[in-house]
A and B are shown apart, each in its own frame.
Chain A
Amino acid sequence: MLQVDDLVVRYGSAVALDGVGLHVGRGEMVALVGPNGAGKSTLVNALSGVVRPAGGTIRIDGRLAHVPEGRQLFADLSVEDNLRLGAWRSRNRDPRRIYEVMPVLGEMRRKAAGSLSGGQQQMVAVGRALMADPDVIAIDELSLGLAPIVVADLARHLAQLNSERGMAILLIEQNARLAFDLCQRAYVIESGRIVAEGDSGELSRSPEVARAYLGGITGSDTETLLERTAE
């Protein structure tokens, strides 16, 4: 579905991505975790064509939609207009298919996107990306600035989209616990290089990853975010 090999991105003389390789299979949920400045957003910007790579290959089998960091909505336009503009390249611009998955968007379709709460805006951003009928969706910092309960609600929507529609998801996150909970596989990126990859459960049990991203608590020691919020 998504295959990235030896990807190199430079900003002038600075190397943002240095030989990054990554794979997301059909219907898979994959996480990319790493600290600030590791190159996560650069990678997803390269995937969506905003940043031009200096080397390497990106192969996307189908359509990729990108939910950018910080939501990036069209603040002056209504929720419905935001959604419809997500289908710029698509023939089907009817947002009702999104309202079926996210009924809350239908309820606030006439509101200006800029007037919504952070969680609602994130939902609009995901809905707008879904309007392109993507085969794979890359979500940059889903949880940034949002309350845990809101994040859990969004995560449930994503898990539902993944299981019901078979949509592949690449979740780019600083919140490693959320990413490991939600995704079967994960990559860890640091200073523009993939430093670890594998099954999320195994990664979360790795002492190095736990120390760097999970506050020193390995995955086996703790219940998941989804389990906690479900209670």
Chain B
Amino acid sequence: MSSFIAYLVSGIAIGCTYALVASGFVMIHRVTRVVNFAQGTFAVVGGMATASLLRHGLPHGLAEVVALASAAALGLLIGVVAIGKPGTPPLSSVIITLGLAIGAYAGEVMIFGDQPLSFTMAHGSTSFLGAHVDRQLFVIMGVTVVSYALLQLFFGRTYVGKALTACSSNPYAARLSGINPSRMGLLAFAIGGALGGLAGVLITPIQPVSFDSDSLLAVNGFAAAIFGGLMHPSTALLGALVLGVSESMIGGYVGASYEIEVALVLMLAIMVWRAARTPVMAEEVA
């Protein structure tokens, strides 16, 4: 029973990091209709930058903030390249983000090296329902809950948040109202960068991150994001938790090497399910 609890808590925490990556996917896709394949890169930059800055003597708090700002700045930069030129088709932008994600490997190796980096955030473990659970897992869950609450407040209460929703809902009307959808798209990329960076900052203490760790996080984050059709952060959170717990259980009871397969199979199943469902809905509307 204690190992079940340990796997469950671990799965929820890992799912939370996928949810943060997924919310970045959703944020960018809602506003720009671009699937940003560089989303995993933000997590790598966030995690490796924090570890590197701590090694250079920066205190906790400052190192994390600088790392998040770096991930957000990288998001903005990728946004400028991917959607900065007016009229760039979303598919071209997707290919650009894929190219940039691969190209980023070189920069990450140059800046952070080619070895996995890690650091300690919350020390030790604690007893929870009879299981020994790493304290970092609770930090991950707490920060994710706060982040989602802040996102909810941002979209529900702020003028800029509503302008982002407006661009997602009707870019033409947003433009007529004087809102610049391209600038809003860049803002979405920056926020998506920060969310991905946050996932990296949180996961690096329990899973050392190297320059090529982006694909695992991106695949899992994308699988969670498509749970909500790349449009709904709350559904993406649910998808991420299902994914995280499934992987943790399979990793614990079957074998850790099957974790990525779980994500891929789940993603494929959701895509098939959605594809099968959409034409029926379209017929109903017609």
A84 CB-CB contact with B under 8 Å: yes
Q: Considering the complex, give the chain A residue whose CB is closest to the CB of B180.
A: A88
A75 with B162: CB separation less than 8 A: no
Whether A85 touches B177, Cβ cut-off 8 Å, given contacts A75-B170, A77-B162, is yes
Q: Number of A interface residues at 8 Å Cβ cutoff, please give it.
A: 19
Q: Considering the complex, give the chain B residue whose CB is closest to the CB of A72.
A: B173
B176 with A50: CB separation less than 8 A: yes
B159 CB-CB contact with A under 8 Å: yes
A132 with B178: CB separation less than 8 A: yes
Residues of B within 8 A of A81 (CB): 162
B-side interface mostly = helix
Segment 158-190 of B: residues with Cβ below 8 Å from A: 159, 162-163, 165-166, 169-170, 172-179
A88 with B162: CB separation less than 8 A: no
CB distance from A83 to the nearest CB of B (A): 10
- With A and B bound together, what is the CA distance between A76 and B173 in angstroms? 13
CB distance from A124 to the nearest CB of B (A): 11
Cβ contact of B172, chosen from A68, A85, A93, cutoff 8 A: A68
A182 CB-CB contact with B under 8 Å: no
- With A and B bound together, what is the CA distance between A73 and B176 in angstroms? 11
- With A and B bound together, what is the CA distance between A48 and B175 in angstroms? 9
- With A and B bound together, what is the CA distance between A86 and B172 in angstroms? 13
CB distance from A129 to the nearest CB of B (A): 8
- With A and B bound together, what is the CA distance between A77 and B159 in angstroms? 12
- With A and B bound together, what is the CA distance between A72 and B175 in angstroms? 11
Q: Number of B interface residues at 8 Å Cβ cutoff, please give it.
A: 15
Q: Considering the complex, give the chain A residue whose CB is closest to the CB of B167.
A: A74
**Interface membership of chain A positions 40-58, coded 1 if the CB is closer than 8 angstroms to chain B and 0 otherwise:** 0000000010100000000
A-side interface mostly = loop
Residues of A within 8 A of B172 (CB): 50, 68, 72
Q: Considering the complex, give the chain A residue whose CB is closest to the CB of B172.
A: A72
A77 with B178: CB separation less than 8 A: no
Q: Considering the complex, give the chain B residue whose CB is closest to the CB of A90.
A: B178
Residues of B within 8 A of A68 (CB): 172-173, 176
| Residue from B163, B166, B172, B176 with most neighbouring chain A CB atoms (10 Å) | B176
Residues of A within 8 A of B166 (CB): 74, 77, 85
A76 with B165: CB separation less than 8 A: yes
Whether A74 touches B165, Cβ cut-off 8 Å, given contacts A84-B159, A93-B159, is yes
Cβ contact of B165, chosen from A48, A77, A93, cutoff 8 A: A77
**Interface membership of chain B positions 223-267, coded 1 if the CB is closer than 8 angstroms to chain A and 0 otherwise:** 000000000000000000000000000000000000000000000
Whether A50 touches B162, Cβ cut-off 8 Å, given contacts A73-B170, A75-B170, A76-B169, is no
B169 with A74: CB separation less than 8 A: yes
A73 with B173: CB separation less than 8 A: yes
Residues of A within 8 A of B177 (CB): 85-86, 88, 128, 132
CB distance from B188 to the nearest CB of A (A): 16
Residues of B within 8 A of A66 (CB): 176
A50 with B175: CB separation less than 8 A: yes
Residues of B within 8 A of A132 (CB): 177-178
Residues of B within 8 A of A84 (CB): 159, 162
Segment 76-105 of A: residues with Cβ below 8 Å from B: 76-77, 81, 84-86, 88-89, 93
Whether A74 touches B178, Cβ cut-off 8 Å, given contacts A81-B162, A84-B159, A93-B159, is no
- With A and B bound together, what is the CA distance between A128 and B172 in angstroms? 14
- With A and B bound together, what is the CA distance between A88 and B173 in angstroms? 12
Q: Considering the complex, give the chain B residue whose CB is closest to the CB of A82.
A: B166
**Interface membership of chain B positions 18-56, coded 1 if the CB is closer than 8 angstroms to chain A and 0 otherwise:** 000000000000000000000000000000000000000
CB distance from A111 to the nearest CB of B (A): 15
A77 with B169: CB separation less than 8 A: yes
CB distance from A219 to the nearest CB of B (A): 33
9 further A-B contacts with Cβ under 8 Å, apart from A74-B169, A85-B163, A86-B177, are A72-B172, A72-B173, A73-B170, A74-B165, A74-B173, A76-B165, A81-B162, A85-B162, A132-B177
What is the interface of chain A, defined by CB distance below 8 A to chain B? Answer: 48, 50, 66, 68, 72-77, 81, 84-86, 88-89, 93, 128, 132
Across the A-B interface, give the 6 residue pairs with the lowest CB-CB distance, nearest first: A72-B173, A89-B178, A88-B178, A74-B169, A74-B166, A66-B176
A-B contact pairs, 24 of them (CB 8 A): A50-B176, A66-B176, A68-B172, A68-B176, A72-B170, A72-B172, A72-B173, A73-B173, A74-B174, A75-B169, A75-B170, A76-B165, A77-B162, A77-B169, A81-B162, A84-B159, A85-B159, A85-B166, A85-B174, A86-B177, A88-B177, A88-B178, A88-B179, A132-B177
